């Protein structure tokens, strides 16, 4: 989704802004722009399409003079992705420029009133009302004007503003949209995402909802929504820019797929002390598990599918009913929740608008909340009663991979932790299951190494019009995520079906050479899935089976086989998804797709 960046200091602002915008490209966007101030004049350059166009237009920023500026990557919501609709937007008198992430829900009313007052609109965006309102309310104090405007806005926003009359500062404000300040020496920054500024500084201040920052080159002052000064702590980012670069891989996605053994290890190791699961860092060791009557997991997209896989493990080890709900549905479902409901919220970015809204709704109704989040300091991490971080490092490719497997590894630990507390898992099972979880990094590495034939298999399937993924229970949960990976990066229609459902309609779609990817890692249901393979093969399907390496039966029956090291079925999903991520990657590569930035998608979905 949209990204914003700002700079004030002694260096030329434009190249820094352009570099920051490039770092935000992964979030997904369709136009970009910068506004830079020099001698009290604001110049705006904006283009539809790629940042490369903006670099070309400005000679990599060298043609734009000035040491203070703001930049934006736009993911169109209100108005097409045109040059005019791109941000920054200028006030009619040219004295103010604004960048904005989020959505202003009451913009139509505001726009009509501004037009009545004689303001002229250039674009179709909701954002443009902000800059005209600032012009309207400005009486010599930018902070005061922004404060006043913010009180009139409904919706979500992270906003950066520069003003020609106050050329030594940027004012930024957030409400339900991420924003952080980068604190440098003789220079300061702001951005919607830490990746945009980590090459300049690792010292950051996270703004809370309703907070404003006045940023000069020497100082950052933060205020609450009443204008009262707030003392903020400066946090230190513990990863560097190399972590957000490709490191020799052709795509971020491939790099991140290969990072999974390390990411899962980094996620589980700090939570295991003396062969015991320790969530003291999240203040969970004293969780009153006997007061939990049901668990609801909520999330969107792949995080939701991690929840679908986690449900099997939680129910198996804790014997508590678990519901997995799409956040966009849960938020409007008048959910049945009380103070015996444990809500597990899963989000890589920690900023997904629907997930935040569902979480707030359930919290208000009394649920206790545990968030599984990757981005430190994100909104979800802050709202939750307990936050467990996945230490996956920055995930740049739009399609999540290490985000998903680290989420699963936390769900495994949490299931075992709660199950043991409830007395549903005995000591010897606990030791056995913990060993399984500790072996995940090794087994993920093995499944990465075990399938050199995947690029060749991808060549065989890349022309398919549709791909079907089938499986039962844990295999079905993995099929859901595998089909999403395939759809989003290769643009091939891919569907996942619970294998037992085929006969109830879907099998009508199977005919000669239709590829079916059959997931066969659920030991207890193996024979059932084999029967489903036989059924589709009898109708001409070509079957690619995913199974444990020592399983002879699938090799005999399927046309192609992808193998995994043998693992306990309870914890197999995090290993089983690996070759299917690779398959999606190589199919997309065969089809010449823009793998790291799939069309129409954004990394962090900060609007509803
Ligand atoms: C798919 C993908 C998305 C996200 C979803 C939730 O590869 O990445 O489906 O999983 O948008 O995002 P987070 O986890 O940031 O809440």
pLDDT of residue 293: 96
Q: What is the distance in A from the centroid of ligand 1 to the CA of 214?
A: 32
Residue closest to 429 by CA, chosen among 570, 605, 244, 234: 570
For residues 263 and 310, the answer to whether their CB atoms sit within 8 Å is no
Task: Evaluate: CB of 542 within 6 angstroms of ligand 1.
Answer: no
For 224, the token pair is 């609450």
Ligand 1 binding pocket includes 156 (Cβ within 6 Å)? no
Is residue 193 lining ligand 1, measured as CB closer than 6 Å? no
Cite the active site residues.
Answer: 2, 603
For residue range 221-235, what is the model confidence (pLDDT) as tens digits?
Answer: 999 999 999 999 999
Q: Is the pLDDT of residue 209 over 90?
A: no
- CB environment 151-162: b (16+ within 10 A), e (fewer): ebbebbbbbbbb
What predicted TM-score, i.e. pTM, was given to this entire model? 0.81
Please indicate whether residue 300, judged by its CB atom, sits closer than 6 Å to ligand 1. yes
DSSP state of 111: H
The mean pLDDT of 540-569, rounded to a whole number, is 93
Would you say the CB of residue 483 lies under 6 angstroms from ligand 1? no
Check residue 30 and give its pLDDT.
Answer: 85
Contact criterion met (CB below 8 Å) for 354 and 331: yes
Given a contact cutoff of 8 angstroms between Cβ atoms, the answer to whether 216 and 10 are in contact is no
Residue 240 pLDDT grade (very low, low, confident, very high; cuts 50, 70, 90): confident
pLDDT band at 181 (very low <50, low <70, confident <90, very high): very high
Closest C-alpha among 380, 414, 440 to residue 278: 414
Q: How far is CA 330 from CA 442, 549, 605, in A?
A: 36, 40, 17
Banded model confidence at residue 428, pLDDT cuts 50, 70, 90: very high
Q: What is the spatial distance between Cα 11 and Cα 229, in angstroms, rounded to a whole number?
A: 28
**Percent of the chain scored above 90 by pLDDT?**
82
Ligand 1: nearest atom to the Cα of 352 = 16
Which tokens is 346 given?
């899963």
Q: How far is CA 17 from CA 32, 111, 297, 547, in A?
A: 11, 29, 39, 48
CB atoms near residue 428 (< 10 Å): 8
- Best residue for ligand 1 mutational test, from 252, 303, 305, 410 (most atoms within 8 Å of Cβ): 303
CA nearest to 395, candidates 593, 581, 575, 174: 581
Share in percent of the chain as helix, strand, coil (round to 5): 40, 25, 35
Q: Per residue, what are the HEC states of 397-456? A: CCCCCHHHHHHHHHHHHHHHHHHHHCCCCCHHHHHHHHHHHHCHHHHHHHHHHCCCCHHH
* Mutation to probe ligand 1, out of 260, 302, 353 (largest number of atoms < 8 A from CB): 302
Is the CB of 352 inside a 6 Å radius of any atom of ligand 1? yes
CB 49 within 8 A of CB 76: no
Cα distances (angstroms) measured from residue 565 to each of 39, 100, 445, 589: 65, 48, 10, 26
| Res 243: pLDDT | 73
User: Which segment of 18-22, 242-246, 493-497 scores lowest on mean pLDDT?
Assistant: 242-246
Cβ 519 vs Cβ 546: under 8 Å: yes
Q: Which residue has the higher pLDDT, 608 or 542?
A: 542
Query: Of all atoms in ligand 1, which is nearest to the CA of residue 348?
Result: 14
CB-ligand 1 contact for 371 (6 Å cutoff): no
Could you report the per-residue pLDDT of 118-165, keeping only the tens digit for each? 999 999 999 999 999 999 999 999 999 999 999 999 988 999 999 999
pLDDT at 608: 75
Higher-confidence position of 29 and 97: 97
CA gap 469, 38 in Å, rounded: 57
Mean pLDDT of the chain: 94
Quote the tokens at residue 219. 């100082």
Q: In whole angstroms, what is the distance from residue 352 CA to residue 358 CA?
A: 10
Nearest ligand 1 atom, CA 305: 10
Is any ligand 1 atom within 6 A of the Cβ of residue 303? yes
pLDDT of residue 600: 82
Categorize the per-residue pLDDT at 270 as very low, low, confident or very high, splitting at 50, 70 and 90.
very high
pLDDT tens profile 275-287: 999 999 999 998 9
Residues in the chain: 608
For residue 566, how far is its CA from the centre of ligand 1 (angstroms)? 28
Q: Ligand 1 centroid vs 603 CA: distance in angstroms? A: 7
How many angstroms does the Cα of residue 379 sit away from the middle of ligand 1?
A: 15
Using pLDDT thresholds of 50, 70 and 90, give the confidence band for residue 435. very high
Locate the ligand 1 atom nearest the alpha carbon of residue 399 and give its number.
7
Instruction: Write the pLDDT tens digit of every residue in 305-358.
Output: 999 999 999 999 999 999 999 999 999 999 999 999 999 999 999 999 999 999
Residues 6+ apart with CB under 8 A from 5: 17, 20, 21, 24, 70, 71, 72, 189, 190, 191, 192, 196, 197
Peptide bond into 293 cis (omega under 30): no
**pLDDT over 90 at 241, yes or no:** no
| Ligand 1 atom with the shortest distance to the CA of 303 | 10
474-503, pLDDT tens digit by residue? 999 999 999 999 999 999 999 999 999 988
């Amino acid at each position: 989704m949209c990204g914003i960046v700002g700079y004030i200091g002694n260096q030329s602002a434009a190249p820094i802004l352009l570099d920051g915008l490039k770092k935000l490209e992964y979030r997904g966007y369709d136009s970009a722009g910068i506004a830079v101030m020099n001698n009290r004049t604001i110049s705006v350059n904006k283009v539809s399409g790629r940042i490369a166009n903006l670099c070309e237009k400005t000679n990599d920023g060298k043609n734009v003079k000035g040491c203070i500026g703001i930049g934006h990557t736009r993911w169109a919501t209100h108005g097409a992705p045109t040059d005019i609709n791109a941000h920054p937007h200028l006030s009619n008198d040219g004295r103010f420029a604004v960048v904005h992430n989020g959505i202003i829900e009451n913009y139509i009313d505001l726009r009509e009133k501004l037009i009545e007052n004689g303001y002229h609109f250039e674009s179709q965006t909701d954002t443009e009302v902000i800059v005209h309102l600032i012009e309207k309310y400005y009486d010599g104090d930018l902070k005061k004007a922004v404060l006043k405007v913010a009180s009139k806005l409904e919706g979500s926003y992270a906003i950066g503003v520069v003003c020609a009359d106050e050329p030594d500062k940027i004012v930024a404000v957030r409400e339900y949209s991420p924003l952080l300040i980068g604190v440098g020496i003789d220079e300061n920054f702001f951005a919607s995402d830490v990746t945009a500024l980590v090459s300049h500084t690792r010292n950051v201040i996270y703004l809370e909802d309703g907070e404003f920052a006045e940023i000069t080159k020497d100082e950052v002052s933060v205020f609450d929504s009443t204008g009262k000064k707030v003392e903020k702590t400066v946090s230190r980012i513990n990863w560097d820019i190399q972590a957000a670069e490709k490191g020799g891989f052709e795509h971020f996605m491939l790099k991140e797929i290969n990072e999974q053994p390390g990411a899962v290890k980094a996620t589980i190791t700090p939570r295991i002390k003396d062969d015991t699961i320790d969530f003291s860092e999240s203040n969970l060791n004293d969780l009153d598990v006997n007061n939990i009557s049901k668990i609801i997991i909520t999330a969107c997209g792949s995080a939701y599918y991690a929840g679908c896989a986690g449900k099997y493990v939680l129910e198996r080890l804790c014997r508590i009913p678990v519901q997995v709900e799409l956040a966009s549905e849960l938020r409007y479902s008048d959910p049945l929740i009380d103070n015996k409901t444990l809500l597990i919220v899963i989000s890589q970015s920690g900023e997904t608008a629907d997930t935040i809204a569902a979480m707030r709704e359930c919290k208000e109704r009394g649920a206790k909340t545990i968030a599984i989040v990757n981005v430190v300091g994100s909104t979800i991490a802050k709202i939750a009663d307990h936050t467990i971080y996945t230490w996956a490092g920055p995930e740049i490719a739009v399609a999540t991979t290490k985000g998903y497997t680290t989420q699963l590894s936390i769900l495994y630990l949490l299931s075992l932790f709660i199950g043991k507390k409830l007395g549903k898992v005995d000591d010897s099972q606990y030791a056995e299951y913990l060993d399984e979880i500790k072996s995940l990094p090794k087994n993920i590495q093995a499944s990465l190494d075990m399938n050199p034939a995947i690029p060749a298999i991808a060549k065989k399937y890349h022309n398919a019009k549709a791909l079907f993924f089938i499986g039962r229970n844990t295999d079905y949960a993995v099929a859901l995520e595998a089909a999403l990976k395939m759809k989003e990066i290769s643009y091939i229609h891919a569907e996942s079906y619970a294998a037992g459902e085929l006969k109830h309609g879907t099998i009508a779609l199977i005919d000669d050479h239709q590829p079916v990817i059959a997931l066969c890692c659920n030991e207890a249901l193996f024979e059932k899935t084999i029967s489903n393979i036989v059924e589709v093969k009898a109708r001409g399907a070509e079957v690619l089976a995913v199974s444990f390496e020592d399983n002879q039966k699938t090799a005999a029956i399927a046309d192609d086989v992808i193998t995994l090291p043998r693992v306990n079925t309870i914890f197999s999903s995090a290993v089983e998804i690996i070759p299917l991520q690779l398959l999606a990657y190589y199919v997309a590569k065969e089809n010449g797709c823009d793998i790291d930035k799939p069309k129409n998608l954004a990394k962090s979905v900060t609007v509803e």
